[in-house]
Amino acid sequence: MSVTYAQGFRAAGVEAGVSAIAGKKDVAMVVNDGPLKSAAGVFTANRFCAAPVQWSRAAIADGGLSAVILNSGGANACTGQAGFDQSLATAQETASLLGCPTEDVAVCSTGLIGELLPLPKILDGAHRAFAVLSADEQSGIDACRAIMTTDTTPKTVTIDGSGYRIGGMVKGSGMIAPQLATMLCVITTDASVSAGALQAALTYGVDTSFNRISVDGCMSTNDTVLVLASGASGVEPDPDEFNRLIAQACAGLSRQIIGDAEGSSHDVRIRVAGAQSEDAALACARAVAASNLLKCAIYGNDPNWGRVISSLGTVPESTAAFDPQQVNVEINGVRICDGGKPGIDRAKVDMTPREVHIDIDLNVGEEQADVWTDDLTVDYVHINADYES
């Protein structure tokens, strides 16, 4: 159902010849028919942020959007003023089709860095998408398919609130480390929510989901997460419930990214508990998630707790307090490291499930945090060695 699950939204995904892959849909449009046009966004922190990010960040500044136009087949990043002009022209064409102000249209692009887009094809795609906009289920899926790159499957979410709905789509599959991939996400809701409340919900939701499939919190040149509210349900949601459900939508989508990560054979949840603060737990979990050696071991079905411990030991004491002699590590429920020393025989660990749980207990407090990552596989290397720059 994707972005069309919420009332007040139409979507489309069409083939416009932008992508090098024959027959692939590559231009998507999501339109908010209102009555409300609230919007909020979270964008990459990368200093080389792409032209569409520069445009969309400006467009959303007033808290309103009527539409988002997205393309795969080109990131329009590191393309200078000419690239910015392309994003602007794309917004203008879409606005003219919809009869709305240009600054009510956000633009998202994903694909190769350092090349201008084939603008006539993009504009043609805007016309084609506009012509088939629909609120039906298939159109939401089509939109999601049009933004896929190395993704193997569309990633969508639908959630029912108390009298309102939330829908969403995301693309991204190279999120082994998030600065290395492009992640585009559009979430829609028919709840009646102000731009300020949307931004608060989204910021919290992204922080606890997309930013926790992150090795280091960094992002690609194009990462964009947008949420649009149509108010079509007429329901003003309970703020706590709404925040929780937006976070749930973000978590559901980010979990799907991990599940479809390039070449992966295991999804790995790293949970650090017993920390003095959530930030300390998060720093530890990120350090462990960043270990190429651990990821290779997991690919080899090896419950290598030494590689967990040696990564954990790189976290400065000022960042996370713990006594190495009090740290426990469980892999898939088996405590193979107990008080910094060998515990139960590692042969007892069943590494066959796709999902691997690494549970680290620092034993100094009550706070915890999860980070999701994937194993590092031969297929990951092949995919990323052969992907054209």
Measuring CA to CA, how many Å separate 307 from each of 194, 290, 294, 314, 317?
Answer: 46, 11, 5, 11, 19
Number of residues binding to its own copies, judged by CB under 8 A: 68
Please, which residue, 164 or 322, has the CB nearer to its own copies?
322
User: What is the per-residue DSSP string for 13-44?
Assistant: EE--S-SSSTT---EEEEEE--S--EEEEEE-
Q: What are residue 361's phi and psi, to 5 degrees?
A: -115, 115
Q: Is 177 in the site for its own copies (CB under 8 A)?
A: yes
Of 339, 346, 342, nearest in space to 362 by CA: 339
| C-beta closer to its own copies: residue 22 or 385 | 385
Minimum distance of its own copies from residue 315's CB (angstroms): 7
Question: Rule CB under 8 A: is residue 341 a binding residue for its own copies?
Answer: yes
Does 389 bind its own copies (CB under 8 A)? Our answer is: yes
CB 311 within 8 A of CB 291: yes
In the bound state with its own copies, the residue whose beta carbon lies nearer, of 47 and 366, is: 47
Using the contact rule CB under 8 A, the part of the chain among 70-78, 149-157, 230-238, 250-258 near its own copies is 70-78
The residue among 200, 204, 175, 172 whose CA lies nearest residue 186 is 172
Point out which span in 5-13, 139-147, 366-374, 378-386 binds its own copies (CB under 8 A).
Answer: 378-386
Among 14, 251, 270, 315, binds its own copies (CB under 8 A): 315
Residue 363 sits in the site that holds its own copies (CB under 8 A): no
Does 351 bind its own copies (CB under 8 A)? Our answer is no
Residue whose tokens read 């939204």: 9
Whether residue 189 lies in the annotated active site: no
CB 173 within 8 A of CB 379: no
Which one, 35 or 382, has the nearer CB to its own copies?
Answer: 382
Site membership for its own copies, residue 234 (CB under 8 A): no
* 354 is a site residue for its own copies (CB under 8 A): no
Range in contact with its own copies (rule: CB under 8 A) among 193-201, 235-243, 269-277, 304-312: 304-312
How many angstroms separate the CA atoms of 365 and 349, rounded?
27
Least distance in angstroms from the C-beta of 301 to its own copies: 8
Judged by CB under 8 A, the residue of 102, 248, 277, 310 near its own copies is 310
Torsion of CA 172, 174, 175, 178, to 10 degrees: -100
Phi and psi for 238 in degrees, rounded to 5? Answer: -60, 125
Write down the catalytic residue from 79, 182, 221, 224.
182
Query: What does each C-alpha distance from 212 to 63, 186, 251 come to in angstroms?
Result: 26, 18, 9
Q: How far apart are CA 230 and CA 232, in angstroms?
A: 5
Q: For residue 205, is it left (φ>0), alpha (ψ between -120 and 50) or beta?
A: alpha
Kind of pairing between the strands at 334-338 and 328-331? antiparallel
Q: Which of 14, 36, 49, 183 binds its own copies (CB under 8 A)?
A: 49
- Nearest approach, Cβ of residue 310 and its own copies (Å): 5
- Nearest approach, Cβ of 221 to its own copies (angstroms)? 5
Q: Which residues bind its own copies (CB under 8 A)?
A: 45-49, 75, 77-80, 112-115, 174, 176-177, 179-181, 216, 218-221, 291-293, 296-297, 299-300, 302-307, 309-315, 317, 322, 324-325, 337, 339-342, 346, 376-378, 380-389
Residues acting as catalytic residues: 182
